[in-house]
Amino acid sequence: MKKHNFGAGPCVLPQEVFKRAAAAILNFNDLDLSLLEISHRSADFVAVMKKAQHLVRALLGVPEGYHILFLQGGASLQFTMAPYNLMRVGGRAAYLDTGSWSSKAIREAELLGQVEVAASSKDRNYSYIPKAYRMPSDVDYLHFTSNNTIFGTQFKAFPQAEVPVACDMSSDIFSREIRVSDFDLIYAGAQKNTGPAGTTLIIVKEGILGKTGRKIPTYLDYQTHIDRDSLFNTPPVFSVYASMLTLQWLKENGGVGWIEGINAEKAALLYDEIDRNPLFEGLAARADRSTMNATFVLKDKSRAKTFDDMWRAAGIHGLKGHRSVGGYRASLYNALSIESVQTLVNVMGELETKG
């Protein structure tokens, strides 16, 4: 039976990417060597890194003056690297608190300087995106998380600020068109829409670096990795290669605009069923519902076992909600087919007919 993978991450990736990546593990570029054993400084892998960077620039329309890096440590390391590189000694930063990941980013930034939480949706368990708040102009940068995987909310319009803007786009990068020039720093863990876990994409504007007045540990300095073109130390070779394949798949099929339309169709299909079916209720404010992560609950918890048995029997995987929210979470990342979403919707409808 085909599995319908709604897991929040690591997530579903295109089958052709899996096949090509698997072949490269056995024999990469007809070298009779595995991708996993070639030198990361060989011409073969340097070409992979260059192509991955080129695809990012092409897919997102990254302007000149921005550097593209593939590093290790996940978005969690970026919670530390961002303030190290953007917050001045004795400085302060503004953060928007819209979920677990933004809260963790705030805690890391507080280790280096003062943080002003300009807005928060914690008062309603992060079920909405704050909109009416004062944007401070006397801070070193503004930081926010574009999509909140756990709570199922997403910024539909990005905050505007007169200071550098940093954004954690781990769970919705490449899912919709953006204007990179509106940001000074974008970072994203690969394991949602970019590729398998192990690498993190960073897009950083050159002009914002070198202004903090602090000594930055070598590895935590973006300039270190810019100077070495993401090869300061041994990179996560497999993750970068599989990410390159995923980005190539996206480009060959029509790019970000193409997948944005499909993602909107998938989300509409599922949210329409959540709103139509009297057994279910969405958790996120309607205006802020994520196209990547739909969170919902059964109104009658006594029917949970029946529903769980039904979706598992239909080959659905990864539907359980996060422990801090409960209920269910359907992650609708780029490579998830609309057929998988229809399968879930059918199960929800069948539960209703059981009476």
* CATH code of the domain covering residue 123: 3.40.640.10
The structural domain count of the chain equals: 2
8 part of a folded domain:
no
Asked if the model's pLDDT at residue 235 lies above 90, the reply is yes
7 part of a folded domain:
no
Helices within 91-206 (DSSP H only):
100-109
- Same domain as 343, residue 204: no
104 part of a folded domain:
yes
161 part of a folded domain:
yes
Q: At what angle do helices 338-353 and 255-276 cross, to 10 degrees?
A: 0
Structure confidence by residue, pLDDT tens digits, 330-342: 999 999 999 999 9
The residue among 223, 253, 283 that closes a domain is: 253
Measured distance CA(206)–CA(116) in Å, rounded = 25
69 backbone dihedrals φ, ψ, rounded to 5°: -125, 150
Asked if the model's pLDDT at residue 202 lies above 90, the reply is yes
5 part of a folded domain:
no
Asked if the model's pLDDT at residue 136 lies above 90, the reply is no
- Same domain as 220, residue 263: no
**Range of the structural domain that residue 97 is part of:** 15-253
Among candidate residues 59, 50, 135, 99, the one with its CA nearest the CA of residue 295: 99
In sequence order, the β-bridge partners of residue 32 are none
Average pLDDT of every residue of the chain: 96
Asked if the model's pLDDT at residue 142 lies above 70, the reply is yes
DSSP code for 152: T
Asked if the model's pLDDT at residue 132 lies above 90, the reply is no
Asked if the model's pLDDT at residue 211 lies above 90, the reply is yes
- Same domain as 261, residue 229: no
4 part of a folded domain:
no
- Same domain as 300, residue 216: no
Asked if the model's pLDDT at residue 148 lies above 70, the reply is yes
- Same domain as 91, residue 227: yes
Indicate the pLDDT class of residue 1, thresholds 50, 70 and 90.
Answer: low
266 part of a folded domain:
yes
6 part of a folded domain:
no
Structure confidence by residue, pLDDT tens digits, 3-57: 899 999 888 999 999 999 999 999 999 999 999 999 999 999 999 999 999 999 9
Query: What long-range pairs does 220-223 form, CB within 8 A, spacing at least 24?
Result: 220/80, 220/81, 220/84, 220/85, 221/84, 221/85, 222/67, 222/69, 222/81, 222/85
pLDDT for the residue numbered 355: 67
Report, as residue numbers or ranges, the catalytic residues: 101, 168, 192
Indicate the pLDDT class of residue 147, thresholds 50, 70 and 90.
Answer: very high
Indicate the pLDDT class of residue 137, thresholds 50, 70 and 90.
Answer: confident
- Same domain as 267, residue 210: no
Among candidate residues 71, 55, 21, the one with its CA nearest the CA of residue 233: 71
- Same domain as 334, residue 324: yes
- Same domain as 337, residue 209: no
- Same domain as 294, residue 227: no
**What percentage of the chain reaches a pLDDT higher than 90?**
95
CATH of the domain at 329: 3.90.1150.10
CA distances from 220 to 71, 279, 332 (A): 10, 49, 32
The residue among 218, 253, 288 that closes a domain is: 253
Which residues lie closer than 8 Å to 333 by C-beta, 6 or more apart?
A: 9, 11, 12, 175, 192, 193, 292
The residue among 253, 273, 303 that closes a domain is: 253
The radius of gyration of the chain from alpha carbons, rounded to an integer in Å, stands at: 21
Contact 40, 352 (CB under 8 A): no
- Same domain as 196, residue 162: yes
- Same domain as 141, residue 229: yes
- Same domain as 207, residue 108: yes
Contact 35, 28 (CB under 8 A): yes
